[in-house]
Amino acid sequence: MNVLEDLRRALPELSSREARAARHLIANYPMAGLTTVAEFAEQSGVSTATVLRLVKRLGFPVYAEFQEALRSHIEESLQSPLLRFGERKVRDEATDKSYLARTSDRMAEYFSSLPDLIPEKEFDRAAALLADPKRDIHLLGGRYSSHVARYMGDLLSAIRGRVHPVSGQTQTWPQFLLDMGRGSVLVVLDVRRYQDDVVQFTHAASKRGAIVILLTDIWQSPAARSADLVLTFPVESPSIFDVLTVGMGVAEALVGAAASKADTAGRTRFETLEDLRSRLAEGTFGEERGKSKRK
């Protein structure tokens, strides 16, 4: 059970006081829920009865079961490849299927589950933000997910301008914040064993008014506290390593949806790009410079 995802989905149906407690937990997840009922209630500004009603709405008969789910969430989100070595070996010995077949089956299952994991309205809103030429787009990822962020930026830059991947050493990142404001969109990719620097940058960008679109695993990066839109995807695989295959698919789907919303200027930009690529491949740029000099 993903408590954070369940909280977000239940939020529109909660009473005002239950919603207040839920928002406090979302903003301080999961630590707020690991305190006593009385402390959770006091910090949320509601009664203990309200907290217990919220917990029951989430499917937990007692508060202790709710806390156990939060602890399990923490354990899963902090797993490292080293911890999964022995576990994977046991699983490998218990099946006759090849590694490739198991991986293929798992990825097919994950992709088919995406419509249930990602609300259509949130996906469409994210695509519309990426397609809006009035907004500047910034993209950030972690140690491995930054490759997906850069790839996403490369695709987006073909149909629109003002696309800026956040790159370089962490110490240079504050420079990227200088150009972020209320017209900005920050796309963040962060998966488990989440990076503190990515989380802190996301929070800082949100404080400056940027709209944050977070692509993360089903346990959700702490950056979700600062995100306006959260799109989740599975990362587990037969491997000891988590995979970004499905996350890459979500990123490509977003870019594809944004391209479908592009206006005439977007099409013109892409046509110009294709022309420039062709001329570069043909080596005609040098010839044109020579002709202009002779004239």
Beta-bridge partners for 190:
216
Helix (H, G, I), strand (E, B) or coil at 210: coil
Arithmetic mean of pLDDT over the chain: 89
**β-bridge partners, 231:** 215
Query: Are 51 and 137 part of one and the same domain?
Result: no
Beta bridge partners, 75, equal none
Task: Give the number of domains in the chain.
Answer: 2
Task: Give 254-266 pLDDT, tens digit per residue.
Answer: 999 999 998 899 9
- State whether 125 and 34 are in the same domain: no
Indicate which CATH number applies to the domain containing 248.
Answer: 3.40.50.10490
Express as a percent the part of the chain with pLDDT over 70: 90
Assess whether pLDDT exceeds 50 at residue 290.
Answer: no
> Are 128 and 225 in a shared domain?
yes
The confidence score (pLDDT) of residue 166 equals: 97
CA 229 to chain centre: 8
| Across 109-113, 122-126, 174-178, 237-241, least confident range | 237-241
Lowest-pLDDT choice from 57-66, 94-103, 108-117, 286-295: 286-295
The mean pLDDT of 64-93, rounded to a whole number, is 70
Residue 50: how many other CB atoms lie within 10 Å: 21
Q: Is the distance from CB of 185 to CB of 126 less than 8 angstroms?
A: no
Residue 89 has pLDDT above 70, yes or no: no
Q: Within this chain, do residues 40 and 176 fall inside the same structural domain, yes or no?
A: no
Tell me, yes or no, whether 122 and 52 share the same domain. Answer: no
Which residue range is the domain that position 52 belongs to? 3-77
Q: Give yes or no for a contact between 66 and 58, defined as CB atoms under 8 angstroms apart.
A: yes
Confidence grade of residue 191 (pLDDT, cut at 50, 70, 90):
very high
Q: Is the Cβ–Cβ distance between 73 and 4 less than 8 Å?
A: yes
Query: Is the dihedral angle over the CA atoms 237, 239, 243, 246 positive or is it negative?
Result: negative
Give a yes or no: residue 287 inside a domain: no
Residue 237 host element (H or E) = none
CATH number at residue 66: 1.10.10.10
pLDDT for position 218: 84
Taking residues 25-40, report their average pLDDT: 88
Kindly list the distances between the CA atom of residue 123 and the CA atoms of 85, 88, 258, 266, in Å, as whole numbers in the listed order. Answer: 35, 33, 10, 20
Share of the chain above pLDDT 90, in %: 69
Provide mean pLDDT across the span 242-265.
95
Mean pLDDT of 199-212: 97
Instruction: Confirm whether 110 is domain-assigned.
Output: no
11 band by pLDDT with thresholds 50, 70 and 90: confident
Whether 275 maps to a domain, the answer reads no
Residue 160 domain-assigned?
Answer: yes
Boundary-marking domain end, from 77, 108, 134: 77
* Pair (237, 184) in one structural domain: yes
Task: Please answer whether residues 153 and 163 qualify as being in contact, where contact means their C-beta atoms are separated by less than 8 angstroms.
Answer: yes
pLDDT at residue 204 is higher than 50: yes
The pLDDT-based confidence of 87 (bands split at 50, 70, 90) is low
> Would the pLDDT of 50 be above 90?
yes
Task: Classify residue 250 as exposed, middle or buried by CB count within 10 Å of its CB (0-12, 13-18, 19+).
Answer: buried
15 residue type, one letter: S
Residue 34 lies in a domain: yes
Find out whether 60 and 66 touch, Cβ atoms under 8 Å. Answer: yes
**150 found inside a domain:** yes
pLDDT at residue 294, rounded to an integer: 52
Residues 156 and 254 in one domain: yes
Confidence class of residue 74 from pLDDT cuts 50, 70 and 90? confident
Rounded CA separation 253/207 (Å): 28
SS (H, E, C) 81-108: HHHHHHHHHHHHHCCCCCHHHHHHHHHH
Q: Does residue 147 share a domain with residue 12?
A: no
The pLDDT assigned to 220 comes to 84
Q: pTM to 2 decimals?
A: 0.76
3-state secondary structure of 60: coil
Among 77, 97, 129, which residue terminates a domain? 77
Q: Do 67 and 149 have their domain in common?
A: no
169 inside domain:
yes
Asked whether residue 280 is domain-assigned, the answer is no
The contacts of residue 181 (CB under 8 Å, 6+ apart) are 208, 209, 210
pLDDT higher than 70, residue 81 = no
E strand or H helix at 185: strand 184-190
Does one domain contain both 65 and 145? Answer: no
- Alpha helices (runs of H) in 118-231, residue ranges in sequence order: 120-131, 145-156, 173-177, 196-207
* pLDDT tens sequence across 91-142: 565 678 898 999 999 999 999 999 988 989 999 999 999 999 999 999 999 9
